[in-house]
Structure 1
Amino acid sequence: MTISRNPVIRLSSLSTALLLALATPLALAAPADDADVASDPFDLQSIVVTATAPVSALTFDTSPKLPRQPVPASDGADYLKTIPGFSAVRNGGTNGDPVLRGMFGSRLNLLTNDGAMPGACPSRMDNAMSYIAPENYDRLVVTKGPQTVLWGPGASAGTVRFERDREVYEAPTVKASGSLLAGSFGRNDQVVDATYGDRLGYARVSANRSESDDYRDGNGDTVGSAWKKWNADVALGWTPDPDTLLELGIGVGDGESRYATRGMDGSQFKRDNTSLRFEKTNIGEHLQEFEASIYHNVADHVMDNYSLRDPNPAGPMPMPMASNVERATDGGRLAATWRGSAYELVAGVDGQDSRHRRRGGMGRDAYRAQPWAVDARFANLGAFAEGTWFQGERNRWVAGTRIDRAEATDERATISGGHGGAAVPNPTAGQTREDTLAAGFVRFERDAARQPVTWYAGVGHTERMPDYWELFSARSFGGAMGTGMGGTNAFAGLDTEKTTQLDIGLHYRGRKVDAWVSTYAGRIDDFIQFHYPSEGMMAGTSVVSNIDADIRGAELGVEVRPADHWKLGATLAYARGEARDSGRPLPQMTPLESRLTASWDNGSWSAGALVRVVDGQDRVAPGYGNVVGQDLGPSAGFATLALNAGYRVNAMVQVTAGVDNVFDRAYSEHLNLAGNADFGYPADPVRINEPGRNAWLKVNVSY
């Protein structure tokens, strides 16, 4: 099987043009009294989302219910890619692993309804976003960088929250919405969201089903990528008065997915969620709000090589085999909000306890008869406070601090001997490591006096406990520079990761032009990296180690409304990182990427276009990466065109349609896993290609 590569596309001229486009409206802006933001009744982004702009400093807030292009997302990672700076490590059709500014894994705090649900697979086949059906949520809120302390420890790259709204009803009310999607490669989705509420409470049901066959790339070759998923959630709320809420949430789901990049497929993505939440508002003159929540989340994942493919007799897994992993996470949060004439303060505590266990077997479904074995336990308890001080009408100071006590326990009796050898006794069996993690930030924000401009500058620091994948998935620990054995294993040898980062940005909101830029520069002490040696004594193993690193980058965007009903926009995202001592590039860094958009909307009809341009990436570190993948070498750039159109039938019904990859280009993303031999890929690492031309039609209904 051969996969063509497009010529490398260089973006130097494009980035210069975008910077000029951003600078020009700021230089030529009219006085503030002429540049007030005008309400625009014809907002195409309310029909089809192609890119998202920040709503405040480093914060993005959007509705995942809105149709998006490319083809509406099947998981959380896919939807995040509409926010500049996000990308994903690709598996194929679904369940990509999100990456923000080149940072991956638990450097991103991923939450649903304020609860954590980390996946269970040692290779992150079922990362947290795999269990997310975006349309089942009302809001997606992203905070970039270590610029909040409200939602848990770590989160050096950012915090991602999928949230559902909670309402108080004065009279009996029925609300319902739903959508149907049909597309190329057998794609079909169904979503329903219905609520009944009255003065004493409400009941809400959200459910979805999503399915797709294997897709074909621009060469016409089939890529193993089919999936089926379903989710159902119920929320029962009691509202004895307008200021009090008690809500019980119950959720279940399951699915399966073929992976052209893996030796196994995901034949089960079962989830069970239970939560209880209490909210009280308008308490007193200064104490305004109090909230308390607890949750119990379970991810039960099965991977095998026989349910969705036939075992390859010539491959490394010639016989049917399966692995069943489960992670149960319990947690809770208490927070109170105080407000005064010149301040707002949120303070509280949160905690989390997580248990990981596994079983497996040779033969079809033989794992079901095997006992579970717990291999890891995690716990965390933290206290936080974050406040805003309003210094006059135009200046704000935002600051926060938190401290956490984190621990991990190694329950493995044996560990892999490496090189296919027998398991050996685990020298850290039964041991618990404990760490105290400190985090904090301070940010200054200022609104200009005579222009609709806000600028900010902030510095943040956070310390991150190595996660399950870093402590338990690596075969060996490689010391300070990743060479040789620096400790008994990763559990005993890895240090906590410390990030200190400066964020500076500016946002202009005018009558005809919106423009924003966000830049950052950070130093990471004891950055956790993976190394996959191809020769020598360590060949075929994964070696994890700590190094010191520097990172920097920027995202910017501009939107111009040249005439009624028209919008033109552009975004640019750039990330770079290198090891501080050697200067070697950090692996798995996202290439320079731009999105150019044009849209027209007359209130009933709409049309839009999206051009996505990605630069070739030659700053790579072959053999280095993360627990999911590694740099496969330089990648070629590419450009794709997507078109969409929409029609508002009435206030209740809207129809949207689109074509992605209009010219049927054969291309692959830089962040990618090598195609597996079971799907016809060669032994040498080859990136899988993205879908070819892909058409879709979606109907949204709301009542």
Structure 2
Amino acid sequence: MKTTLFLSASVAGVFSYGFLNCGEAAAQTSSPALEDVIVVTGSPRSAMRVDATVPDFTPDAGPDVAGLIARLPGAALIDNGALSGQVQYRGLFGERLNIRVDGQAFASGGPNLMDPPLHYAPAPLVGVIVVDRGVSPVRNGPGLAGGVDAQFKRVDFTDSSDMAFGYDVTALGRTVDDSYAVGGVAGAANATYRFNILGSYEKGDDVEFQGGTIASSSHKRAVYGASAGAKLGRQEFGLDVRRQKTGPTGNPPFPMDIRFFETDFARLTWNGALGGINVESAFSIADVDHAMNNFDLRPAPQDPMRYRETFAKARTLSGRFAVILPAADESLRLGFDMEDADKDVRITNPNNVNFFIDSLSDIQMQRKGVFVEWTGAAGWLNAELGLRADFHDASAGEASLGPALPMGPVSLASAFNASERDWDKTTVDGVVRLWTEEAKGVSWRLTLAHKTRAPGYVERFSWLPTGASGGLADGNVYVGDLQLDSETAWIAEAGADWRGERFYLRPTAFYRRIDDYVQGVPFDATVGVIDSPQEMIAAMNGDPTPLRFANVDAELYGVDVDGGVSVTEHLRFDGVISYVRGKRRDIDDNLYRIAPPHASLAATYERANWSLSAETVLVADQNKVSATNSEQATDGYAVFNLTGDIDIAPGVSVSAGVTNIFDKAYRQHLAGYNRVANSDVAIGERLPGNGRGAFLRVHLSR
């Protein structure tokens, strides 16, 4: 199941998995059939079986690695800002995906998901991206869809007792936003010890498109940290620490822009063997401080009383411990994991010290999980069988307001404080994954799963009508619901991996039936009639028809295919096709923000130390839109890209290219709607795709 996937516009480049490794997880993955790791862009000079994505040798996809993952079959990019991109996978996105950064899961700091997990994975620092295709195994935690782990580069152990020095550095420049990025790792290691420092810095101006400039779309981000490890007998210990400082960064589809994120990460791991039992463990912390406002990067409101600055905090403690009992070609994994997240959100007006709202105060979200997973084979049939149970607890503190607030919010806060603000639930997930041994070049796959997700804190505890939507960016005002139940999905997927000497083909069909799907619905039955305090406040915030998060019934189904063929020794074609359909089952409506059918086809000519690739990206119309979310339809388009690279010396490679060669004007369906005044994009208009841009990337490694 782990086959080579030289996807669209892949370019030449070799990434050596030796002294300079991409991360512990890449070296510790289980059987290829269990993780179904997909190559995003591979090297024509690499082996047919590879382990993961190599970002340094891909066409430029923007500052976030979310753009790289979006090139996968079934995936798409949700562009909420230069550093706020999300991955959509087979119609699902946000907290429904199990996304980790260097093996660590954590809570976003912003109530509008301005810092989704991949916000903390700058491309110059990422070595590989491991993707759980279809659904995540139970050992990786709950979640309705597949999982992603963006693993950092690091200087890894060697086979010698002598210390050796290594580094991996990337520098990149783009014209479409006059941006640059530089970052990497450097350190030393031997067979017993390893150590490296890491760092990156990125800065870019507003994005240009065919027709002008997208105001409030600049970005700025810096990361620094260190990684160390030791092998003591059969035990291996690791420590990773990192600090990220995101500076002023625009978010045109949101009512505010990022002023800062200041985030600290620490992760301690222990993996080893005790007798005949293997042990895996990790403990980590993530601490996020965040501020956003509506006056620094975008035109400030004319009325000083409309100035807003929101401060948010999130701290996540997480831990994991598992034992693996091996037996011949079988293994049994028993484990425990936990996650404890604390959150606070305060809305202020810097022009009035008496205006403040603790809208989401003292939020406590705890989860404790146990899981068991068996992997084995019976003749030609391989199987992974997993079961997990999670025990959820959630609570909110009392809301408080400053004396400048009118009676409407005060009465809503009083009602919220008088309500029952505690919630607990036990959820159960199960996964059955079956696949056959390859016979005559074909391996068949079947996955059946029952997966769950507990609602997020914005969906549950938002008593005040605001634009905070957990990253939906649809321009609506939302209210939470204390009575929300957990989402439950029944999943079936079937496919095949077909490979010959000169071609590969990987089709997959899937179906997800989701009960209690959390979706915005009209606040009450009298839509447009302002007859409640919530609707009155929402109208004051510009939306007389607010939405309320509620449990509905939904389904998603579709098919995705990737494949390629080598025409000659030096010429090959690769392509990806993705189709997903999302519908409500309780009413006649479509799910919001579902990617339109899209495909890409690339022709690549490659020699021993250079390659050139021409790509066509085709996107269809999307008119199956959500009436509930007032979603606008979009037209289809075609974009052409050209990319090449060359190895100019051992450890030195250069990549360059032009994206959107013909400067096509188009609207990405998954982009949000502009909310910034005095831009070349009208307020309420869907944000455009990038115009023509060139990039140059230099990669140095030893």
Which of the five TM-score ranges fits, normalised by the shorter chain? 0.7 to 0.9
Pairing 1:519–2:509 present: yes
Closer/same/farther in 2, CA of residues 681 and 474 from structure 1, 3 Å limit: farther
Rounded to whole Å, the distance in 1 between the matches of 2:345 and 2:487 is: 27
Provide the residue aligned with 1:280 in structure 2: 272
Pairing 1:674–2:673 present: yes
8 Å Cα contact 1:266-1:304 kept in structure 2: yes
| 3-state SS in 2 of match to 1:150 | helix
Q: CA deviation at 1:371?
A: 9.5
Closer/same/farther in 2, CA of residues 429 and 190 from structure 1, 3 Å limit: farther
8 Å Cα contact 2:337-2:368 kept in structure 1: yes
Provide the residue aligned with 1:386 in structure 2: 373
Provide the residue aligned with 2:422 in structure 1: 432
Pairing 1:329–2:287 present: no
What is the TM-score with the length of structure 1 in the denominator? 0.84
Pairing 1:250–2:241 present: yes
Closer/same/farther in 2, CA of residues 200 and 397 from structure 1, 3 Å limit: closer
Rounded to whole Å, the distance in 2 between the matches of 1:430 and 1:132 is: 38
Q: CA deviation at 1:72?
A: 4.2
Pairing 1:201–2:188 present: no
Rounded to whole Å, the distance in 2 between the matches of 1:521 and 1:590 is: 16
Q: CA deviation at 1:493?
A: 1.5
Rounded to whole Å, the distance in 2 between the matches of 1:206 and 1:79 is: 21
8 Å Cα contact 1:274-1:295 kept in structure 2: yes
| 3-state SS in 2 of match to 1:239 | strand
Pairing 1:142–2:142 present: no
Rounded to whole Å, the distance in 2 between the matches of 1:367 and 1:637 is: 49
Closer/same/farther in 2, CA of residues 60 and 417 from structure 1, 3 Å limit: farther
Provide the residue aligned with 2:63 in structure 1: 74
Q: Which residues in structure 2 correspond to 1:39-50 (within 5 Å)?
A: 44=11, 46=13
8 Å Cα contact 2:38-2:53 kept in structure 1: no
Rounded to whole Å, the distance in 2 between the matches of 1:89 and 1:475 is: 26
Closer/same/farther in 2, CA of residues 228 and 64 from structure 1, 3 Å limit: farther
**Structure 2 counterpart of 1:384, one-letter code:** F
| 3-state SS in 1 of match to 2:119 | helix
Pairing 1:109–2:86 present: no
8 Å Cα contact 1:376-1:410 kept in structure 2: yes
Rounded to whole Å, the distance in 2 between the matches of 1:369 and 1:414 is: 8
Provide the residue aligned with 2:624 in structure 1: 619
Higher mean displacement: 161-170 or 401-410:
161-170
Rounded to whole Å, the distance in 2 between the matches of 1:551 and 1:428 is: 38
Provide the residue aligned with 2:330 in structure 1: 343
**Structure 2 counterpart of 1:157, one-letter code:** A
Q: CA deviation at 1:57?
A: 6.8
Q: Alpha-carbon deviations, 1:565-591, whole Å to 9, x = none?
A: 222011101111211132321121110
**Structure 1 counterpart of 2:437, one-letter code:** D
Q: Which residues in structure 2 correspond to 1:470-481 (within 5 Å)?
A: 470-473=459-462
User: Aligned to 2:521, which of 520, 528, 531?
Assistant: 531
Provide the residue aligned with 1:504 in structure 2: 494
**Structure 1 counterpart of 2:674, one-letter code:** G
Higher relative contact order (CA 8 A, sep 6+): 1
Q: CA deviation at 1:226?
A: 0.5
Rounded to whole Å, the distance in 2 between the matches of 1:584 and 1:38 is: 36
**Structure 1 counterpart of 2:454, one-letter code:** M
Provide the residue aligned with 2:687 in structure 1: 688
8 Å Cα contact 2:257-2:293 kept in structure 1: yes
CA RMSD of superposed structures (Å): 3.1
8 Å Cα contact 1:525-1:549 kept in structure 2: yes
User: Aligned to 1:224, which of 207, 210, 216?
Assistant: 216
Q: CA deviation at 1:513?
A: 0.4
Provide the residue aligned with 2:642 in structure 1: 643
Closer/same/farther in 2, CA of residues 141 and 117 from structure 1, 3 Å limit: same
Rounded to whole Å, the distance in 2 between the matches of 1:410 and 1:542 is: 21
- In the alignment, structure 1 segments of 5+ residues that lack a partner are 1-35, 49-53, 478-488, 625-630
Q: CA deviation at 1:410?
A: 1.6
8 Å Cα contact 2:281-2:320 kept in structure 1: yes
Q: CA deviation at 1:319?
A: 4.6
Q: Alpha-carbon deviations, 1:420-445, whole Å to 9, x = none?
A: 78643115657321100100011221
Closer/same/farther in 2, CA of residues 600 and 569 from structure 1, 3 Å limit: same
Pairing 1:129–2:95 present: no
8 Å Cα contact 2:330-2:375 kept in structure 1: yes
Higher mean displacement: 543-552 or 417-426:
417-426
Q: CA deviation at 1:613?
A: 0.6
8 Å Cα contact 1:47-1:67 kept in structure 2: no
Closer/same/farther in 2, CA of residues 269 and 166 from structure 1, 3 Å limit: same
Provide the residue aligned with 1:657 in structure 2: 656
Rounded to whole Å, the distance in 1 between the matches of 2:431 and 2:124 is: 33
Rounded to whole Å, the distance in 2 between the matches of 1:252 and 1:379 is: 24
Q: Alpha-carbon deviations, 1:640-689, whole Å to 9, x = none?
A: 00101111112210011010000001111111221114243787631011
**Structure 1 counterpart of 2:325, one-letter code:** W
Q: Report how many aligned residue pairs link the two structures.
A: 635
Pairing 1:399–2:419 present: no
Rounded to whole Å, the distance in 2 between the matches of 1:645 and 1:568 is: 15
Provide the residue aligned with 1:210 in structure 2: 202
Provide the residue aligned with 2:483 in structure 1: 493
Q: CA deviation at 1:467?
A: 1.2
What is the TM-score with the length of structure 2 in the denominator? 0.84
**Structure 2 counterpart of 1:608, one-letter code:** S
| 3-state SS in 2 of match to 1:67 | helix
Rounded to whole Å, the distance in 1 between the matches of 2:5 and 2:309 is: 58
Q: Which residues in structure 2 correspond to 1:183-198 (within 5 Å)?
A: 183-184=174-175, 185-198=177-190
Q: Which residues in structure 2 correspond to 1:260-271 (within 5 Å)?
A: 260-271=252-263
Q: CA deviation at 1:201?
A: 1.2
Closer/same/farther in 2, CA of residues 417 and 56 from structure 1, 3 Å limit: farther
Higher mean displacement: 259-268 or 90-99:
90-99
Closer/same/farther in 2, CA of residues 237 and 381 from structure 1, 3 Å limit: same
Higher mean displacement: 89-98 or 564-573:
89-98
Closer/same/farther in 2, CA of residues 56 and 135 from structure 1, 3 Å limit: farther
Rounded to whole Å, the distance in 2 between the matches of 1:327 and 1:698 is: 35
Provide the residue aligned with 1:578 in structure 2: 583
Q: Alpha-carbon deviations, 1:629-649, whole Å to 9, x = none?
A: xx5321111110010111111
Rounded to whole Å, the distance in 2 between the matches of 1:55 and 1:361 is: 50
Closer/same/farther in 2, CA of residues 144 and 604 from structure 1, 3 Å limit: closer
8 Å Cα contact 1:102-1:575 kept in structure 2: yes
| 3-state SS in 1 of match to 2:560 | strand
Q: Alpha-carbon deviations, 1:482-501, whole Å to 9, x = none?
A: xxxxxxx8442211110010
Closer/same/farther in 2, CA of residues 117 and 73 from structure 1, 3 Å limit: farther
**Structure 2 counterpart of 1:331, one-letter code:** S
Pairing 1:157–2:145 present: yes
8 Å Cα contact 1:260-1:679 kept in structure 2: no
8 Å Cα contact 1:305-1:311 kept in structure 2: yes
8 Å Cα contact 2:70-2:88 kept in structure 1: no
**Structure 2 counterpart of 1:362, one-letter code:** N
User: Aligned to 1:60, which of 34, 37, 41?
Assistant: 37
**Structure 1 counterpart of 2:528, one-letter code:** E
Rounded to whole Å, the distance in 2 between the matches of 1:38 and 1:476 is: 46
| 3-state SS in 1 of match to 2:55 | coil
| 3-state SS in 1 of match to 2:564 | strand
